[in-house]
Chain A
């Protein structure tokens, strides 16, 4: 039996004049991601529906469904069986394609859409015929037109007929690539992958920047971050991933600046390096996983000091979320188990015992001015390692 995926216009998250551009980006995203996970698909837009059709017969259709669930810009979609425009074929296909699902529930209804008005039966007639056939074949089933467990939809189109069950929930959001590119600062904890996922959901492409401090931090910690980035990439598509060697800057901060300001000055240095890498990648903003008040460097005062270091918008999508809410998303996107693997990251290596929670910009700038970091910052930008993570 031939299967296709149907994405209806009404199920696209986007409206208005930009729709056709958005649709093109969405189709491109689906095509590329499906190719990687399931196989080659062709896409046709017809009668307000995007039809994704596998080229080869042996395509892994379950993997295709899992992939499309992770593509932003789709509110819901259906997987459908394709059959001929013949009543007997429609009945047989409905039973063989949805029989297992229908046997495991109690109620159903049939919904017919006849866009080809030349087809001899009307929609109510199709409903009656197909419904009766299913009722006869599956004795445990009852009809419930108001609140059915499964709605069997029969769509009679120009060339053939699509039969499908309940819709599958999509990832929502906007197609990645319709909103520009941002650079995510990724540490290896729970928060930053969630922040990246949230921004990708709004249609942004991602670059990611990680700060490593070898040998204070281990190769395993870096591998873990790469794994996290690749989990986010399942939703966002390919990520430009940069690893910055941050060791000498951390050591210099430790040596020259007051201990209680260590974390904030470190964050400012990270920001300064990040905007340069971000500009190189064509990013319009930085993204961090900060949540207000979660740690000392994430107080209002500390964030003001951090932002003062850069002239680029800094998005903090988690700013108003509690840890538990963040963990819920982290679990849902499959990042949590990796996030909690225990390795030192560069933020924890030198953490002061009593960090300053209400710093002022004047105080910080004065503390920073005792040492000229510019050469080290240049070096950090120049020696950053790049790779694509899928």
Chain B
């Protein structure tokens, strides 16, 4: 028996998403911008999808913009907000553990002359909130922090950031990269006080190639692409209806709170089993998102373990890309020793993951550890 335990990389498309996609491909293939009946039909589907995603994030439907996924959403939010807000100041703030689609966008802003502040983390991967508070000032135009870290699962204090920005009298827009959090913890954009929030479809059992960006009313974004006026001209391009329909199906199927409870119980018993074994270190904090478990097996190499597990049908990812120098920037920010970063594995669950799957995974891991000779 094998198991797919790499759900933070991507997930299997659920039945409903698949059915909605097929339906859209077969009968709803019109261009939503066309004036005729075929176009109106597609536009109605687009409207329905927009309402569905808006409801899931507790916002208005015209605050939802469809994108091609997490990378585009993050790029558009970071560049769009920094450029759109430029005349108010020059400082932009992010953390040291963001996804590359945020991280590299800030790198480019830095080259273009913005003052970039990157907030560090503690040993559990939680951002230094005091440092963030100190960094926000009247010249800050953007703060972008992820809701949940994709490698270790640490939940960031994003619910407290909006009030800091307000208190400091800062004109900053607040962007949350919620790609890993969406569908897994309750996200209410109003309560979070976010101006921008990125979500993606393929992390929640929807198809790849689609996602959404929440843009609070009145938030001025400078578009990154130009074209035929779709998506309020902020993200022009004919809408990919089959993908958007699939995304809608996946969102309809979400059971955030029940799945969170179930997965927390699953994770806790899994961690308990691991604690009984020698030589495995858990890098994720105890209050991390239960869907992501990052662990290290000092003395073993991530990639070797991954290959062995893959061979017996268990799919996980290595926290650190390889032995040839590409260390995880997240584990490095957490200041973990090399012995832990070089041997880390990320096990990521979905709401469909079962107890049996995790048990047999542990058996496979025991076997791999026995076979692989320690270095």
Interface of A with B (CB < 8 Å)?
214-218, 251, 254-255, 342-344, 348-351, 353
Contacts and interface: CB of A to CB of B under 8 A. Distances in A.
A30 to B, nearest CB: 39
B323 A344 contact: yes
* Chain B: number of interface residues, binned into ranges: 10 to 19
A89 to B, nearest CB: 49
B366 to A, nearest CB: 16
A69 B41 CA distance: 56
A343 B301 CA distance: 12
Interface in B322-372: 322-326, 372
Given A215-B307, A348-B323, 13 more contacts: A215-B304, A215-B308, A216-B308, A216-B372, A218-B303, A218-B310, A254-B373, A344-B301, A348-B324, A349-B301, A349-B304, A350-B373, A351-B375
Q: Is the interface of A mostly helix, strand, loop or mixed?
A: loop
B364 to A, nearest CB: 12
Contacts of A215: 304, 307-308, 310-311
Contacts of B326: 342
A280 to B, nearest CB: 29
B321 interface: yes
A216 B307 CA distance: 6
Contacts of B308: 215-216
Interface in B126-149: none
B100 to A, nearest CB: 15
A344 to B, nearest CB: 5
B322 A344 contact: yes
Nearest to A218: B307
Nearest to A189: B324
B303 A343 contact: yes
A255 B373 CA distance: 9
A344 B311 contact: no
B375 A350 contact: yes
Contacts of A255: 373
B322 A343 contact: yes
A43 to B, nearest CB: 46
B304 A216 contact: yes
Contacts of B311: 214-215
Nearest to B303: A344
A261 B84 CA distance: 62
A327 to B, nearest CB: 15
A344 B303 CA distance: 7
Nearest to A254: B373
Contacts of A353: 375
Contacts of A344: 301, 303-304, 307, 322-323
A109 B322 CA distance: 57
A75 B325 CA distance: 40
Nearest to A250: B373
Given A342-B326, A344-B301, A350-B373, A217 B321 contact: no
29 contacts: A214-B311, A215-B304, A215-B307, A215-B310, A215-B311, A216-B304, A216-B307, A216-B308, A216-B372, A218-B303, A218-B306, A218-B307, A218-B310, A251-B373, A342-B321, A342-B322, A342-B325, A342-B326, A343-B303, A343-B322, A344-B301, A344-B303, A344-B304, A344-B307, A344-B322, A344-B323, A348-B323, A349-B301, A353-B375
